[in-house]
């Protein structure tokens, strides 16, 4: 490491970065808060890293989504910007495949462009979600360096072993996230700059010759990441056929290198394969790995990881796609988790994976699924939770050959012709909408989209004002939305009783929730802050709503009464809300924000699955409630990207 009290590798990578407006503002903010003036480039960069960490890391879903929206606008290609060359190429491909001269209709062109945008957003979100999570135990300088370079890369060329460079006309998604490969890059750069873990003085010489060569010539992130991907080779099918093995515990505070070396070369995809990451994880808790036996009979093949933090299970990962557990290893993981503190938080994941395995076996044998099994597969009651970063790929595999119209008519006890495939298929007699009620008009892929967007058709049928849209008038029979409701022109929800996905009333004109009893996803009731130019919802009570399966956000909302609400499955945020009494609410599954709220009566609340966040003025008594921990929030967090 270079001489001096402070050293930030970003100064060597980007010599002028400390002169940027953002860094200068961070340095000035540091001086105002501490009275300490900083001069060196590295110290200024450190101050900016602190700011980035406060803004990005482990934030609540609402703030995280606004951050994503900012990055989407900055880096993602919008539908109107898709170049003509892309469509010309699709016509050329169709001709080469024997389909003749295909004309792309305006509707198809729009859908193709929308797909490009959605794919880029999702691929970028994977990086944002990971780098802003506690799972990514990297220093902030490395996270910034990674993200700054990822947005400049396109897809990976396997033949050349390199990433294509991104340009304004690139239509491909952002690079795939390989956590294990990324941890190798972090280790290599930390060694290069002398920033390795405690009690270690490793340098670039400990790496393979190719890695050392790349470090010596200061290769770019894309080159280092591509090389790391080539190094990560998954275990053979023969090795994975064996599930017999043993658990090994790595004690908190022990040598991370010893743990990391047992994982390297097996292609687990775990970031723990990087020695720096392994050390940072062992610094805060024990680590358990289940190794199955190799061909020689020794337990050396890593299959399941359980990471502890603050004495509780913090993470459970497998080696399937996106670190999901292999079906054959779920019971082994469940048995071990039952011995450890915090296992109750993973009970649903274990149960869901066991149900999914049973349905998969039943489907493979040709047996008909029950209505209860269909409700589970279609996530009618709750989202299927697994142990990976994304959904278990078996869900899509099981859904592909099925007939959703027939299945949904069984689930919701209506005729098949009363099930609408996407909002473009809605009729006045529709009972179930399989898709979103949204301004964005996403297509389910099962029908051809008409030229008129939803809000225009709703308006025409409602005979209301030009900007108003009424479900009650346009679709009086609609009871179930098997998707999300995010349509700001709505003036009512009609007779909708259930929304299996998210419901957002942000800047909405809906006066009440009508007959709505259940939201399967997130209840987004937060509103623009007072004084904003956006419309504020007039909803003051949740009425007949009984449960919210995901998160519930009430920031700045006008809601005063939770009505018949009894359960919130995820986190709940009451900051700056008008709610004073939690009424009939009995359970909140995640963290709760009471900081800077008006809540003075906890009502029937008895269980909180996560942490409680309060401010210095808190007077609430939590003695009769189970919860994980209490955190003090000293700063009033404003909307950042409004």
pLDDT above 60: residue 553: yes
Predicted local confidence at residue 193, as pLDDT: 87
Q: Is the pLDDT of residue 442 over 50?
A: no
Q: Supply the pLDDT for residue 489.
A: 76
Per cent of the chain over pLDDT 90 is: 50
Q: pLDDT grade, residue 536 (50/70/90)?
A: low
Query: What local confidence, expressed as pLDDT, does residue 538 receive?
Result: 79
For residues 448-463, give the mean pLDDT: 40
pLDDT in tens, 185-244: 999 999 888 886 544 444 554 678 888 889 888 999 999 999 998 888 777 888 899 999
Question: What's the predicted TM-score (pTM) here?
Answer: 0.68
Distances (CA, A) of 201 to 6, 138, 186, 198, 224: 18, 18, 15, 8, 21
Residue 5, pLDDT score: 47
Please give the pLDDT value at position 440. Answer: 46
Given a cut of 60, is residue 41 above it in pLDDT?
yes
CB atoms within 10 A of CB 458: 25
470-480: average pLDDT: 91
Model pLDDT, residue 528: 67
| Alpha carbon distances (Å) from 55 to 19, 25, 641 | 21, 14, 11
Strand, helix or coil for residue 64: helix
Question: Can you give the pLDDT at residue 210?
Answer: 87
Residue 66 in this model has a pLDDT that exceeds 90? no
Instruction: Name the average pLDDT for the chain.
Output: 85
Please report the pLDDT score of residue 382 as a whole number. 85
Please report the pLDDT score of residue 196 as a whole number: 67
Q: What CA–CA distances, in Å, run from 500 to 379, 380, 430, 438, 460?
A: 8, 6, 16, 14, 27
Q: What is the pLDDT of residues 160-198, one digit of tens each?
A: 888 999 999 999 999 989 889 999 999 999 988 888 654
DSSP one-letter string for 134-164: TT----HHHHHHHHHHHTTEEEEETTTTEEE
Which helix (H) or strand (E) is 293 found in, with range?
A: strand 287-293
Q: Which of 425, 441, 455 is nearest to 111 (CA)?
A: 441
The pairing of strands 287-293 and 299-309 is antiparallel
pLDDT at 139: 92
Q: How confident is the model at residue 443 (pLDDT cuts 50, 70, 90)?
A: very low
- Give the residue-averaged pLDDT of 86-97: 82
pLDDT computed for residue 35 by the predictor: 86
Whether residue 454 is predicted with pLDDT greater than 90 in this model: the reply is: no
pLDDT at 262 over 50: yes
Q: What is the separation of C-alpha 210 from the centre of its chain, rounded to a whole number of angstroms?
A: 34
- What number is the average pLDDT over the span 79-95? 87
DSSP one-letter string for 479-520: -EESS-EE-TTEEE-TT--EESS-EE-TT------TT--EES
Is residue 155 within 8 A of residue 165, CB to CB? The reply is: no
Return the closest-CA partner of residue 375 out of 355, 357, 389: 355
The answer to whether 623 and 604 have CB atoms below 8 angstroms apart is: no
């Amino acid at each position: 490491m270079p001489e001096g009290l402070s050293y930030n590798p970003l100064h060597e990578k980007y010599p002028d970065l400390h002169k940027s407006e953002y860094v200068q503002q961070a340095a000035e903010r540091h001086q105002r808060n501490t009275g300490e003036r900083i001069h060196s480039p590295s110290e200024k960069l450190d101050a900016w890293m602190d700011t980035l960490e406060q803004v990005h890391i482990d934030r609540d879903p609402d703030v995280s989504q606004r951050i994503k929206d900012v990055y989407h606008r900055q880096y993602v290609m919008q539908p109107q910007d898709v170049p003509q060359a892309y469509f010309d190429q699709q016509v050329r491909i169709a001709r080469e495949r024997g389909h003749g001269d295909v004309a792309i209709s305006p509707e198809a062109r729009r859908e193709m462009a929308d797909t490009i945008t959605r794919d880029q957003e999702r691929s970028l979100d994977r990086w944002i979600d990971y780098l802003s999570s506690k799972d990514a135990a990297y220093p902030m300088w490395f996270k910034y360096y990674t993200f700054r370079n990822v947005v400049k890369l396109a897809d990976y060329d396997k033949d050349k072993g390199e990433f294509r460079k991104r340009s304004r006309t690139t239509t491909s998604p952002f690079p795939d996230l390989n956590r294990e490969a990324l941890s190798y890059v972090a280790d290599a750069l930390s060694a290069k700059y002398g920033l390795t873990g405690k009690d270690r003085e490793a340098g670039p010489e400990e790496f393979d010759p190719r890695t050392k060569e790349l470090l010596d010539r200061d290769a770019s992130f894309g080159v280092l990441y591509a090389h790391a991907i080539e190094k990560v080779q998954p275990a053979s099918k023969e090795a994975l056929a064996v599930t017999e093995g043993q658990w090994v515990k790595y004690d908190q505070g022990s040598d991370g290198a010893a743990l990391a070396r047992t994982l390297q070369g097996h292609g687990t995809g775990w970031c723990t394969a990087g020695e720096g990451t392994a050390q940072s994880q062992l610094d805060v808790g024990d680590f358990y790995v289940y190794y199955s036996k190799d061909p020689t009979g020794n337990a050396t093949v890593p299959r399941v990881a359980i990471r502890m933090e603050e004495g509780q299970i913090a993470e459970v990962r497998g080696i399937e796609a996106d670190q999901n557990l292999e079906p054959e290893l779920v019971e082994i993981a469940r048995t071990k988790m039952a011995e450890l503190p915090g296992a109750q938080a993973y009970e649903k994941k274990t149960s869901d994976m066991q149900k999914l395995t049973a349905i998969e076996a039943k489907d493979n044998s040709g047996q008909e699924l029950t209505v209860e099994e269909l409700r589970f597969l279609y996530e009618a009651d709750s989202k299927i939770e697994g142990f990976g970063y994304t959904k278990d790929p078996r869900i899509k595999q099981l859904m592909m050959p099925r007939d959703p119209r027939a299945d949904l008519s069984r689930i919701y006890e209506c005729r098949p012709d009363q099930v609408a495939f996407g909002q473009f298929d809605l009729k006045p007699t529709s009972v179930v909408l399989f898709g979103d009620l949204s301004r964005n008009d996403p297509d389910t892929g099962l029908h051809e989209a008409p030229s008129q967007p939803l809000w225009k058709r709703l308006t025409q049928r409602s005979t209301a004002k030009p900007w108003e849209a009424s479900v009650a008038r346009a679709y009086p029979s609609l009871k179930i939305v098997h998707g999300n409701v995010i349509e700001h022109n709505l003036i009512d929800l009609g007779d909708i009783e259930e929304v299996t996905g998210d419901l957002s009333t942000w800047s909405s004109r809906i006066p009440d929730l009508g007959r709505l009893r259940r939201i399967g996803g997130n209840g987004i009731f937060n509103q623009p802050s007072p004084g904003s130019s956006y419309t504020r919802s007039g909803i003051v009570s949740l009425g007949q709503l009984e449960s919210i399966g995901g998160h519930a956000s009430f920031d700045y909302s006008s809601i005063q009464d939770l009505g018949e609400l009894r359960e919130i499955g995820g986190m709940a945020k009451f900051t700056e809300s008008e709610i004073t009494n939690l009424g009939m609410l009995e359970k909140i599954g995640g963290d709760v924000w009471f900081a800077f709220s008006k809540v003075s009566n906890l009502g029937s609340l008895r269980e909180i699955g996560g942490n409680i966040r309060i401010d210095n003025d808190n007077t609430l008594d939590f003695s009769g409630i189970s919860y994980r921990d209490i955190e003090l929030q000293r700063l009033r967090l404003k909307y950042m990207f409004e």
